[in-house]
């Protein structure tokens, strides 16, 4: 099996061994078998957040294809292999609020806690009540509380300790309501014609999110070459107050005294800024790259796309060129959002 057939970037060489697990038992057994044999293991599901080396993976690749949704009131327990976007659509149709801004994100339910998926002012951590996992450290099945999951911006305990946990199922505590959670994202509120902080009908929110996402090539679409990506390639940098002051000074010196980078301060004094803003101001534009290989999306500077004949080596080289350019221009280290398999990120930049 070539991993390019399993990733949205359509990149990645062969798997030494490949197995698809359609039941939780088969999944647990496949993982245990690889661990007993001391074989490297890669679990994947939708392949939408993975960058796999052209050389492939020298061990077992287990694709999670488990299914099942159990609903009790506004609580759901969902098998890891369930596709995420159809679940959001069902929640919206079924009058369950809390995940409507996460419509259109590809991939599986089980991967959502890994990087605490988020978009348009919502994060999955806000509605996750528990995550059932296989702990490969001792082979036990455990149910982790949200605190144990250690969710932070685009990260979690699962991402910080890669390979240790296999997510088997995710429980959600949603709100039984036809109205959305308060809309926090200004662009989405504008699209809905409401004030930031107001609520809207669930279905309207989902449609507005999908429309915004499509405009940025962020909904998988076989007709749209800008969607052959892993979504945003870099997370938005989160800087401490001193680092943000230094960035502001660099930006003013480079771009003019009245230029200030976007700033979203958080409660503990950190400031999140925009990776796309930094990339564009460092001189990288939409479409930059190889029109037949790897290039920045023509709709969104944060997405790196495979125009057909790209390779993972080329993708990583372009990502490093961009990160190096941002580092030189602004002194900010960009961090890749997708999981790199078989490639290290730049020493000193990651
Ligand atoms: C067009 C596009 C738009 C996107 N938009 C967004 C967005 O708005 N917000 C956002 O946060 N992300 C976004 N993404 C990234 C991606 O869709 C999400 O991270 C998604 O949750 C990945 O799911 P997956 O099943 O495809 O995971 P995979 O790519 O298969 O795996 C990703 C990582 O998670 C691990 N993993 C997967 N499932 C499990 C499991 N059950 N247990 C343990 N580890 C597991 C894998 O080993 C791997 O390390 C986007 C991607 C694309 C292509």
Is 29 part of the annotated catalytic residue set?
no
4, 30, 49, best to mutate for ligand 1 pocket (most atoms within 8 Å of CB): 49
The percentage of the chain sitting over the pLDDT mark of 90, rounded to a whole number, equals: 96
Q: Which residues line ligand 1 (CB under 6 A)?
A: 8, 43-50, 64, 80, 105-108, 110-112, 114-115, 117-119, 165-167, 218, 220, 227, 229-231, 339
Q: How far apart are CA 322 and CA 201, in angstroms?
A: 40
Burial of 15 (0-12, 13-18, 19+ CB in 10 A): buried
Do the beta carbons of residue 319 and residue 295 sit within 8 Å? no
- Is 232 an annotated catalytic residue? yes
Confidence of residue 349 (pLDDT cuts 50, 70, 90): very low
> Looking at residues 171-197, what average pLDDT do you find?
97
Chain segment 205-217, per-residue pLDDT in tens: 999 999 999 999 9
pLDDT, tens digit, 9 for 90 and up, residues 75-98? 999 999 999 999 999 999 999 999
Query: What are residue 61's DSSP bridge partners?
Result: 18, 42
Which atom of ligand 1 is found nearest the CA of 80? 41
Instruction: Kindly report the backbone phi and psi dihedral angles of residue 102, in degrees, each rounded to the nearest multiple of 5, phi listed first.
Output: -100, 15
C-alpha–C-alpha distance, residues 47 and 61, integer Å: 12
pLDDT reading at 346 higher than 90: no
Residue 154 designated active-site: yes
For residue 250, the SS3 value is helix
CA dist 67 to 57, 83, 111, 121, Å? 26, 9, 14, 28
117-123 mean pLDDT: 97
């Amino acid at each position: 099996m070539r991993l390019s057939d399993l990733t949205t970037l359509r990149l990645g060489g062969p798997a030494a061994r490949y197995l698809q697990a359609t039941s939780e038992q088969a999944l647990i057994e496949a993982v245990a078998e690889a661990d007993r044999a001391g074989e490297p293991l890669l679990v994947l599901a939708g392949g939408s957040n993975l960058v796999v080396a052209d050389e492939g993976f020298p061990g077992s690749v287990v694709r999670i294809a488990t299914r099942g949704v159990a609903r009790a009131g506004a609580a759901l327990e969902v098998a890891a292999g369930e596709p995420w976007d159809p679940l959001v659509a069902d929640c919206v149709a079924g009058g369950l609020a809390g995940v409507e801004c996460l419509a259109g994100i590809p991939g599986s339910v089980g991967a959502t806690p890994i990087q605490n998926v988020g978009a348009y002012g919502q994060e999955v951590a806000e509605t996750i009540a528990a995550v059932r996992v296989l702990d490969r450290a001792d082979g036990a099945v455990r149910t982790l509380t949200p605190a144990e999951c250690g969710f932070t911006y685009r990260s979690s305990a699962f991402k910080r300790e890669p390979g240790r946990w296999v997510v088997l199922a995710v429980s959600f505590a949603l709100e039984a309501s036809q109205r959305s959670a308060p809309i926090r994202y200004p662009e989405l509120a504008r699209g809905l014609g409401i004030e930031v902080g107001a609520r809207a009908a669930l279905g309207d929110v989902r449609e507005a999110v999908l429309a915004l996402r499509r405009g940025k090539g962020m909904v998988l679409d076989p007709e749209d070459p800008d969607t052959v990506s892993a979504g945003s390639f870099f997370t938005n940098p989160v800087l401490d107050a001193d680092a943000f002051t230094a960035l502001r000074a660099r930006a003013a010196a480079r771009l003019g005294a009245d230029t200030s980078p976007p700033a979203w301060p958080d409660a503990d004094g950190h400031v999140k800024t925009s990776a796309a803003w930094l990339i564009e101001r460092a001189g990288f534009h939409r479409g930059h790259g190889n029109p037949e290989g790897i290039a920045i999306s023509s709709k969104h500077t944060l997405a790196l796309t495979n125009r057909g004949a790209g390779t993972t080596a080329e993708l990583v080289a372009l990502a490093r060129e961009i990160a190096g350019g941002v580092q030189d221009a602004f002194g900010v280290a960009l961090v890749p959002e997708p999981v790199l398999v078989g490639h290290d990120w730049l020493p000193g930049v990651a």
